[in-house]
Amino acid sequence: MKRGVFPGSFDPITLGHYDIVQRSLPLFDEIIIGIGTNTEKKYMFPLEKRAAFVKSTFATYKKISVVEYEGLTIDLCKKINADFIIRGLRNPADFEFEKAIAHTNRLMSGIETVFLLTAAKTSFISSSIVREIILNQGDYSKLVPSSVKI
């Protein structure tokens, strides 16, 4: 069974995240969306709210489950017997950052990272842009799944 973990903070989930999950579906028997905590980040939404957004977005998908976790993504992968980490790439800077993490994860655990390029129509979307729009009471609805309601 091919099991992939799509890790992130999803603060909040965007249409870019949604696109990566959708395009991962044919590649894996099961996708686990791992909502983690990053000690470097200050979150707009608490973990429970972020998880609710993601669970609601993918509620009808049998191949997708959502878990909350702390610590290293490779530890989550080992715990749930996942051999792949799924990552989306928007630009060359994302690639350089993600490449270093992927090499480290493979060295430490043997777990492979699968990179998918974001679709052109969502490549400009980031959670930080969405948060800025939300903070300034702008219309964020074209950047996130309909489950994200503030």
What is the percentage of the chain residues whose pLDDT exceeds 90?
91
Confidence of residue 37 (pLDDT cuts 50, 70, 90): confident
For residue 143, being part of any structural domain is answered with: no
For residue 150, being part of any structural domain is answered with: no
Confidence of residue 38 (pLDDT cuts 50, 70, 90): confident
Rounded to whole angstroms, how far apart are CA atoms 28 and 43?
30
For residue 142, being part of any structural domain is answered with: no
For residue 141, being part of any structural domain is answered with: no
Q: Residue count of the chain, please give it.
A: 150
Mean of pLDDT over the chain: 95
Confidence of residue 19 (pLDDT cuts 50, 70, 90): very high
Domain that holds residue 10: 3-135
User: What integer is the mean pLDDT of 114-126?
Assistant: 95
User: What integer is the mean pLDDT of 127-131?
Assistant: 95
**pLDDT score at 41:** 80
Count of the separate structural domains present in the chain: 1
Provide the annotated active-site residues: 17, 41, 90, 127
CATH number of the CATH domain containing 33: 3.40.50.620
Query: What's the pLDDT tens digit per position in 52-93?
Result: 999 999 999 999 999 999 999 999 999 999 999 999 999 888
Confidence of residue 128 (pLDDT cuts 50, 70, 90): very high
Rounded to whole angstroms, how far apart are CA atoms 60 and 106?
32
Q: Which of 83, 82, 14, 17 shows the shortest CA–CA distance to 44?
A: 14
For residue 50, being part of any structural domain is answered with: yes
Confidence of residue 98 (pLDDT cuts 50, 70, 90): very high
For residue 144, being part of any structural domain is answered with: no
